Every structure is written in structure tokens, then in C-alpha cells.
Structure 1
Amino acid sequence: MARTLFITGASSGIGAATARAAVEAGWNVGLFARSQDKLEDLVKELGDTAMALPGDATDLSEQRKAAASLAEAFGGIDAAFANAGTGLSAAGTEAGDPEEWEALVRINILGLLWTVKATQSHLKESKGHLVLTGSAAGRKHIKGSVYSASKWFVHGYGGNLAEEFREWGGRCTVVAPGMVDTPFFDEAKPDKLQPEDIARSVMFALEADRRANVQEVFVMPVD
């Protein structure tokens, strides 16, 4: 029986690449993001094993509704990928924009928490797997970086979740990329990592033998 993966931030970049990789590996996928048009185009590409779930990651009720719809459609949820995130236009603290900080916290921290809350009961039932998008920036100190601090939270919380999930046979993985060529950046980064590189890392963790919990995966560009 095919397993089912819920993905936030699924309309482009790492989320869309992971959806493609998961479908290729035989998974069903629930695609959650704000851009309904992009989600519908991706569903047309992937076929009937994909389901468009338009919604805002910063809204717990919308994530809960999406997860419930996915579980009903495919008989449960075996894994969730909390991938939705954002960056900042101004680096550092002194030059930072408090309104941007608030938006960042809402999606990078609260949005991730809402994914856990929305899917944990489903994952507990399936002894499932949660994957979080961390960052290499979440493992080093960067001068005044609020974005980096938000990813430190992801790494810390991911480790805490791994301990909690272990109690009932679940798994939790943080995938931490270096610079990836995605719409996250205003300019293309063709010499850096590609979304497909991170998608393969997500699938590596998900497809690991049940006895193994791959808790962190670091993926850095060679250049």
C-alpha cells in the first residue's frame, strides 16, 4: 500500500521537487501552499497520487483541515514535511525590519509548529515520520542574523521531537541545506545546490529502514 506524505511550501522549490521525488518513489502526496494555481499545475503533472491543498501555513486551522482532507483521501498520513519558510530582505539586527521579523517568525517557527500540531495525531497512528527544513545557517553564528536564529529553533526543536516521537515508534529528521537555487533568492544561483538535491535527501531519510532514524542531514554545495 502506498504511503502518504504531507508537504508544506509545496508549490515550488524544495517542496515541489520533493513531491516529484516522492511520487516517483511510489508515495501519495498532499501539496499545501498558498498558490492554488501552482498546486493545481503540479497535480496535473503528478497525476492522481497528488492532491492540491491550498492554504496558509501560518494558520493552524487551515493546516489541520488540509491534513484531515489528505488523511481521508488516502487512508492516513505516513509522513509530513514542514518545509514552508521565508527569509529577510535586510541582514543583521540593526538594519532589520521588525515587521519582516514578525512575518518570519510566523512562518519559520509558528508555521512549523502548526504542521506538527496538524499532523502529529495522524503520524502517531501510522508510527510515521516528520521532516523539517532546517539550514546550515541554523548551525553557525551569523552576525546579527534573525533568519539564522529561526533555523536554530528548527534544529533544536527537531531534536526534541525525535525524542518525543521515539516513545511511540515515530521518527523526526532535520534536513539542513546550504545555499539552494530556489525562488527564495531574488537572483538565480545556478552554481549552488538544486532543489532536487534536497528532495533526494528528504527521501533518503524517509526511505531508511524502520530501525534507523536519520535525525539530521547536512547538504552543502561543493562550490
Structure 2
Amino acid sequence: MAKTLFITGTSSGIGAETARAAVKAGWNVGLFARSEDKLNDLAGELGDAALALPGDATDLEEQRAAIGKLVEKFGALDAAFANAGTGLSVAGTEKGDPEEWEKLVRINILGLMWTVKAAMPQLKANTGHLVLTGSAAGRVHLAGSVYGASKWFVHGYGGNLAAEMKEWGGRCTVIAPGMVDTPFFDEGKPDKLKPEDIASAVVYALDAPDRATVREMFIMPTH
């Protein structure tokens, strides 16, 4: 029986490519993002193994409702990928915009925690797996980087979750990409990683044998 994966931030980039890779690997997928048209297009491409679930990652109840619909369709939830995230238009603390910081915290930190909170009961029932999108920026000090600090949280929280979930046989993985050529950036980054590189890492972690937990994966551009 196919396993089921809930993915946030699936309208484009890493989330959309992970959905494609997961379906190719035999998973069912729940596609969660705000852009209903893009989700419907992706669900149409992926066929019966995908369910479009429009919603806002910063709303805990919307994530809970989406997971409920996914479980109703496919019977269980085996994994969740907290991938939704955002960056900042102005870097640093001195020149940074506090309103942008608040938006970033709501998505990169609280939105990720809402995915974990909404998915945890189902994952615990099925000895499931959480995957979180961290960043190489979450393991180095970058001058004044508020975005980087939000990813430091993801790495710390992910490690704590891995220890918590180990108590009942669950697994938690933090995926830490370097620069990826996605719509996250205003300009293309053709010499950097592609979303499918990160998607393949997520599927690798999910499909690791039960005896093995991949706690963190760093995927860096070669050049």
C-alpha cells in the first residue's frame, strides 16, 4: 500500500519538485499552498496520487483541516514535509524591516511548527516521519541575517524533534540546501542547485530503511 506525504509550499520550487519525485517513488501526496490554481495544475499533472489542498501555512487550523482531508482520501499520513518559507527584501538588522521580520517568523518558524503540530497525531499513530526545510544559512553566521537566524531555529528544533520522536519510533530529518535556483530569488541562479536536487534528497531520507534515521542532509552547489 502506498504511503502518504503532506507537503507545504508546493506551488513551485522545492515543494512542487518533491511532490513529483515522491509520486514517482510510489507515494501519495497532499499539496498545500495558497495558490489554488497552481496546486490544481500540479494535481492534474500527478493524477490520482495527488490531492490539492489550498491553504495558508501560517494558520494552524487550515493545516489541520488539510491533513484531515488527506487522511480521509488516502487512509493515513506517513510523513509531512514542512517546506513553506520566505526570505527578506532587505538584509541585516539595522536596515531591516520589522514588518517583514514578523511575516518571516510567522512562515519560517510558526508555519513550520504548525505543520508539525497538525501532523504529529497522525504520524505518531503510523510511526511516521517529519522533514523540515532548513538551510546552509542555518549553520553559519552571516552578518545580521535574520533569515539565517530563522533557519538556525529550524535546525535546533529539528534536532529536538528527532529526540522526541525517537521515543515512539518516529524519525525527523532537516534538509539543508545551499543556494537553489527557485522563484525564492528575483533573478535566476543557473549555476546553483536545482529544486529536483533537493527533492531527491527528501525522497532518499523518507525511503531510508526503518533502522536508519537521516537526521540532517546538506546539499551544496559544486561550483
What TM-score comes out, normalization by structure 1 length? 1.00
Q: 1:152 — aligned with what? A: 152
Tell me the amino acid that sits aligned with residue 103 of structure 1: K
Q: Which structure 1 residue ranges, 5 or more long, are not aligned?
A: none
Query: Aligned partners of 2:37, 2:50: CA distance in 1, in Å?
Result: 14
Aligned to 2:173: 173
Aligned to 2:137: 137
Distance 2:87 2:98 in 1: 13
Q: Residue type matched to 2:200 in 1? A: R
Q: Which residue of 2 aligns with 1:197?
A: 197
| Cα distance in structure 1, aligned partners of 2:71 and 2:124 | 13
Aligned to 2:52: 52
Correspondence for 1:106: 106
Matched, 1:88 2:88: yes
1:62 and 2:62 aligned: yes
Distance 1:182 1:118 in 2: 27
Residue aligning to 1:97? 97
CA drift at 1:43: 0.5
Report deviation, 1:151.
Answer: 0.1
Partner Cα separation in structure 2 for residue 200 and residue 26 of structure 1: 13
1:163 positional shift? 0.3
Q: Tell me which amino acid in the other structure corresponds to 2:188.
A: A
| SS in structure 2 at match of 1:47 | helix
CA apart distance, 1:127: 0.2
Q: What SS class does the counterpart of residue 172 from structure 2 fall into?
A: strand
| Shift, 1:219, TM fit | 0.2
Q: Tell me the distance in 1 between the aligned counterparts of 2:73 and 2:124.
A: 18
- Structure 1 residue 15 displacement after superposition: 0.2
| TM-score normalised over the length of structure 2 | 1.00
Q: Post-superposition shift, 1:54? A: 0.1
Q: Deviations over 1:28-86 (max 9, x none)?
A: 00000000000000011000110000000000000000011101110010000000000
**How many aligned residue pairs are there?**
223
Structure 1 distance, partners of 2:126, 2:11, is: 26
One-letter identity of the residue aligned with 2:139: R
1:130-186, Cα deviation, whole Å (9 max, x unpaired): 000000000000001100000000000000000000000100000000000000000
Consecutive unaligned residues in structure 2, runs of 5 or more: none
